[in-house]
Amino acid sequence: MTATAETSARTRGHGVRAEGVTKRYGRSLVVDDVHLDLPLGGVTALIGPNGAGKSTLLSIVGRLLGADAGRVSVAGLDVATTRGDELAKRLAVLRQDNHLDIRLTVRDLVTFGRYPHSKGRPTAEDLEHVERALAYLDLTELADRFLDQLSGGQRQRAFVAMVLCQDTDVILLDEPLNNLDLRHAVAMMGRLRDAARELGRTVVVVVHDLNVASCYADTIVAMRDGKVAACGTPAEIMRPDLLEEIYGLPVRVHELDGQLIATYYG
């Protein structure tokens, strides 16, 4: 972290801070007293088995879901009490399964990302942001296509472009690699890492591929049964004993070309 980024992190507070966050669905405890402190700037990967509470935690941090207990602040703002339109300029969140009943072009959708800034009247500067986001995610040629004419992966990229276009300090993405082919998955993670390193964004992604987390994240948060099981740098988390405990599956970790790669196939 550079000196300037460090001071700005201190003056603007933490990227994401969760204190005692708890969420129940009926009797089952989905998120159990989670404490989390992520500095401003950097990519954090949320990993863990199905049902570990990753998406729920992400939704709570992104104020799409209310917590039963605990507090969440993002970029120094309490998500429960800050006005929604103020928060939207600092925090962007994208859930999985984005289905729309309305017919929109890719450009229409991405332009919505500027709504917190322009309130629906995009300026020339806003439109520049839109074109940049489109180019960033390799969507320029598809910009005038309707979303229902696209493949799942293309649609996924359009939604991510909308969220990036929002130009926020903190970006939360739930499985952004869903439906993406190898090339676009690698490109997407590269883009997110660039946004974190060059623009000082705090990016939190839920990913299922351990090796994506290992190679692209600065911090890995491993969850299990609604709790944070481990949190640390890839080198700290990519350990066979720890991963086996989290996933309940023997995992081997190899160092290949300077990267820690996990293998777990029978």
User: Site residues (CB under 8 A) for other proteins?
Assistant: 62-64, 83-89, 92-95, 98-104, 108, 112-113, 115-116, 119-121, 162-163, 166
Residue 143 neighbours by CB under 8 Å, 6+ apart = 105, 106, 107, 110, 134
CB nearer to other proteins: pick between 118 and 211: 118
Q: Tell me how many degrees the CA angle 20-174-181 measures, rounded to the nearest 5.
A: 155
CB nearer to other proteins: pick between 5 and 64: 64
CB of 46 to other proteins, least distance (A): 18
Edge to edge, the sheet with strand 16-25 lists: 28-38, 16-25, 69-74, 77-78
Tell me if 12 sits within 8 A of 28, measured CB to CB. Answer: no
CB nearer to other proteins: pick between 1 and 64: 64
CB of 115 to other proteins, least distance (A): 5
CB of 124 to other proteins, least distance (A): 18
User: Rounded to whole angstroms, how far apart are CA atoms 194 and 200?
Assistant: 9
CB of 93 to other proteins, least distance (A): 5
CB atoms within 10 A of CB 48: 23
CB nearer to other proteins: pick between 122 and 234: 122
CB of 103 to other proteins, least distance (A): 6
User: Rounded to whole angstroms, how far apart are CA atoms 95 and 98?
Assistant: 7
CB nearer to other proteins: pick between 136 and 159: 159
